Amino acid sequence: MILAYKPSEKVKHGFEETRLNIAPVMNLMVVLIPLLLSSAEFVRLSVIELNLPPAALGPEGEQLNNLPEEEQRKLDLTVTITDRGFFISSAMAVLGGEKEGEPTIPLSGDMYDFEALAEKLYEIKTKAGDRFTDSEHIIIMAEPEIDYQTIVSTMDASRSIRINGENQALFPIVSLSAGIL
């Protein structure tokens, strides 16, 4: 049998370009994406914990706390939020501002200056050190018309401060005081 052509001259068929079949990947996406979408959390909720002493224990609780006052040195650090700024006070004195009767940290522009508050509290924390029994406590008081967001942000500013990228604890135990109604 004579070949019509030399084997070396056989024309090789060009390889047909095989297209990448995307359909199986799309199957996967169509299943995964709605699944993840239903369990996605775009806004995270968290809670601030405030525990009041139980009402029933009121009178008895006071008796238990009747330790000799001279041995306890309390700082009683209080931040009062007014519409003119923050007043910082303690059991000893009110930390004055620039002038007599001015808030310790006045409003900057029209907004409350939380960074300045945090820095001031850091100063106080480093100076107070360990000398007081309640050096982790801070009391927040506010005028009746102050809005909720300001109070929450003040609580944030008093709990910790971010220095050089690290979070330093300031006064983690925050309590709200009734103030004047």
Partner 1 sequence: MAIRPSIRKKHKTDPGEAHLQLTSMMDMFTIILVFLLKTYSTHGQLINPSADLTLPTSVIQHLPEQGLDVTVSMDWILVNGSPVEKTVNVASMDGYMIPALRQELRKYADEALKMEELYGVKFSGKVTIQGDKKLPYKLLMKVMATCGQTDYPNMRLVVYQEEG
Among 1, 4, 8, 54, binds partner 1 (CB under 8 A): 54
Contact between 40 and partner 1 by CB under 8 A: the answer reads yes
Minimum Å distance from CB 102 to partner 1?
22
Instruction: Give the distance between the most distant pair of CA atoms in the chain.
Output: 122
The smaller minimum CB distance to partner 1, of residues 8 and 38, is found at: 38
Cβ-proximal residues to 145 (8 Å cutoff; 6+ apart), any chain: 83
Read off the tokens for 105.
Answer: 């940290």
**CB of 165 vs partner 1, minimal distance in Å:** 11
CB of 147 to partner 1, least distance (A): 5
Q: Does 68 bind partner 1 (CB under 8 A)?
A: no
Tell which positions 7-26 bind partner 1, by CB under 8 A: 19-20, 22-23, 25-26
93 binds partner 1 (CB under 8 A): no
Q: Does 145 bind partner 1 (CB under 8 A)?
A: yes
Residues paired with 80 in a beta bridge: 87, 141
Cα–Cα distance between 167 and 169 in angstroms, integer? 6
Neighbouring C-beta atoms of residue 157, cutoff 10 Å: 22
Nearest to 75 by CA among 8, 135, 154: 135
Asked if residues 120 and 88 have their Cβ atoms less than 8 Å apart, the reply is yes
Stretch that binds partner 1, among 28-36, 68-76, 117-125, 126-134 (CB under 8 A): 28-36
Helix/strand/coil for 13: coil
Where along the sequence are the contacts to partner 1 (CB under 8 A)? 19-20, 22-23, 25-26, 29, 32-33, 36-37, 39-56, 81, 142-149, 151-153, 155-156, 159, 162, 176, 178-179, 181
